[in-house]
Amino acid sequence: MVQELYYINTGFFKLDGGAMFGVVPKSMWSKLNQPDENNMCTWAMRCLLLKTEDRLLLIDTGMGDKQDLKFRSHFSPHGSDNLIQSILDTGYSIEDVTDVLLTHLHFDHCGGAVSKNSDGVLSPTFSNATYWTHREHYNWAMQPNDREKASFLKENFNPLLQAGVLEFYNESKKIWPKEIKVRIYNGHTQAMMAFEFDFNGENYLYCADLIPSSGHISIPFIMSYDVQPLISIKEKSELLEYAAQKNSYLIFEHDPKIAAAKVKLNDSGRVILA
Ligand SMILES: [Zn+2]
C-alpha cells in the first residue's frame, strides 16, 4: 500500500512552445502557457516520492545539475527548488530512497539520477537505491535515432549500469514494488513507462510525457517531440477515457502550475478537466 505521497519539485526549465504543442497554432496554445519573447514556455520537472510499507520510491529525477553551461543555456533551468532539497523537505534522507523508477531516459526525466562530484566523477545520486528502466527503452536510448539523440545523454544512465544498480522492469517483476502498476506507451518514445497506484482511496496515474501538462488534455495537443504522434493520440485517448471512468487523478510532470487533476466527459463526449 502507498502510505505517503509527496510531489518533488526539481525546478523549472524552458522548451519551445511550438515544439510542445505540435500542430496546434500559437494563437491557441499561448493561452495555456504564455511564451517569452523567444517563444519559450516554462515547464516544471515534477517528480514523485511514494512511501510504501517497506520502500521509498522516487519516480523520475528532473534534469539534475551536472550539465555544462552551454547545455543549460538551451533549457534555462530556473526556480528555487531542486531534487535533493525537495526530498529532504519531506523529512526523508537521500539514503532512504530504495528505488528510482525512471519513466524514460530523456534528460529532463533522468538527469538527477547520476551526480558529478568535484573531481568530475559520475556516480548514482541515491547510493542505496535500485534504478529501474524498461529494457526495450534502454536499448532504444543506447542506439538513439537522430531526432531523440540530443535528449539521450549517456552520462545520465551509463554510470547506473556500471555501478550495477540498474534493473530492467521486464525481467525483474519479482522485486518490482507491487504497489505500482506499469503502463507501457510507445508514442512519445519507445517503451516509456507510466505508473498507476492507489493512495488514500484514490487512483493516480503518473502520465510522464504522454500527457505532460493540463494543457495537453485535448486530443490534438501532442508534442512535436513524439516519435509516433498518431500512436500518442490513441494512447492518450485510451488513458483519458480510463481516467474519466475511474475518477483517477492525472499527475502532470511538466505542468508549471497544476500538479494533478481529474478529468470528466463533457456533453459531447470529449474529455475535459473536471
Ligand atoms: Zn520525454
Spatial distance between the Cα atoms of 152 and 154, rounded to a whole number of angstroms: 6
160-169 pLDDT, tens digit each: 999 999 999 9
| Residue closest to 62 by CA, chosen among 125, 117, 2 | 125
Cα 86 to ligand 1 centroid, rounded to whole Å: 22
Residue 163 near residue 124, CB atoms below 8 Å: yes
Q: Where are the domains of the chain?
A: 4-273
Cα 139 to ligand 1 centroid, rounded to whole Å: 16
Residue 107 pairs in a beta bridge with: none
Is this structure's pTM higher than 0.95?
A: yes
Here the cell at position 137 is 527503452
139-175 pLDDT, tens digit each: 999 999 999 999 999 999 999 999 999 999 976 678 9
Cα 53 to ligand 1 centroid, rounded to whole Å: 30
Cα 192 to ligand 1 centroid, rounded to whole Å: 8
217-247 pLDDT, tens digit each: 999 999 999 999 999 999 999 999 999 999 9
Report percent pLDDT > 90 for the chain: 97
Cα 238 to ligand 1 centroid, rounded to whole Å: 19
Cα 93 to ligand 1 centroid, rounded to whole Å: 27
The DSSP result for 72-85, as a single string, is HHHH--BSS--HHH
CATH code at 4-273: 3.60.15.10
Cα 108 to ligand 1 centroid, rounded to whole Å: 7
Distances (CA, A) of 102 to 38, 99, 252: 31, 10, 15
List the alpha helices (DSSP H) in the chain.
Answer: 17-21, 26-29, 69-75, 83-88, 107-110, 135-142, 158-162, 229-246
